[in-house]
Amino acid sequence: TQLLEQSPQFLSIQEGENLTVYCNSSSVFSSLQWYRQEPGEGPVLLVTVVTGGEVKKLKRLTFQFGDARKDSSLHITAAQPGDTGLYLCAGAGGNDMRFGAGTRLTVKP
Amino acid sequence: DTGVSQDPRHKITKRGQNVTFRCDPISEHNRLYWYRQTLGQGPEFLTYFQNEAQLEKSRLLSDRFSAERPKGSFSTLEIQRTEQGDSAMYLCASSSGLAPGELFFGEGSRLTVL
């Protein structure tokens, strides 16, 4: 079983602050995805990282895949209330996709 | 709208009843997944189809749970003799063979077992 551990579990910050959330595993993944989920809805794909050391940017969001393809981070610059949500990482290691428990982010105006 | 659709969105049932959820994936996607999500947790994998073949089942999927994808298009997830512990959001997702790790989720079916 490939376990994905996300930290922190909860994060509450003020608008304009920067933050980083983490996704760690003891397993190697062929790819890793980040999703954002709002209450009452399904997760929405943000990005896929495939290559060890890869960095991808999506506006104010920066995603990094660890060199060993076991971990990843998501950095948000100048967070806004619209960034509030549950951020999930998921790893592909076979036929199924496994998700972490998520980081619940609240950005206060 | 050509996204993943799930029906019903909400289901309230009494313990011991059977319930069935339907998922219509994105039409060109050959892979379909079912997940269960409880409050404060990430989605837990239940089962996976490639076309009509069910290729993987989680240990979470007890004998009261059954999933089908008879023609490789829509899928159903049935729970027999529901228990209060089955209360959760049941999520369906689909993906293409070109980007199998990139899942597109429906809005989920929320089950409440009284």
Instruction: Give the tens place of pLDDT for each residue, B4-49.
Output: 999 999 999 999 999 999 999 999 899 999 999 998 889 999 999 9
pLDDT score recorded for residue B56: 82
Q: How many CB atoms lie within 10 A of CB B87?
A: 16
Q: Check whether the bond before B43 is cis (ω within 30° of 0).
A: no
Q: Could you give the C-alpha distances from B27 to A58, B2, B3, B105, in angstroms and in order?
A: 27, 7, 9, 13
Q: Which two tokens stand for residue B111?
A: 């089950």
Per CB-CB distance under 8 Å, the chain A contacts of B35 are: 99
What count of CB pairs under 8 Å joins A to B? 63
Q: Do A30 and B41 touch (CB under 8 A)?
A: no
A50/A46 Cα distance (integer angstroms): 14
**For testing the chain B interface, which of A4, A86, A99, A103 should be mutated: the one with the most B CBs within 10 Å?**
A99
pLDDT score recorded for residue A94: 67
- Per-residue pLDDT of A13-24, as tens digits, reads 999 999 999 999
In degrees, to the nearest 5, what angle opens at C-alpha A56 toward C-alphas A67 and A33? 75
Q: Which of A38, A64, A51 is nearest to B37 (CA)?
A: A38
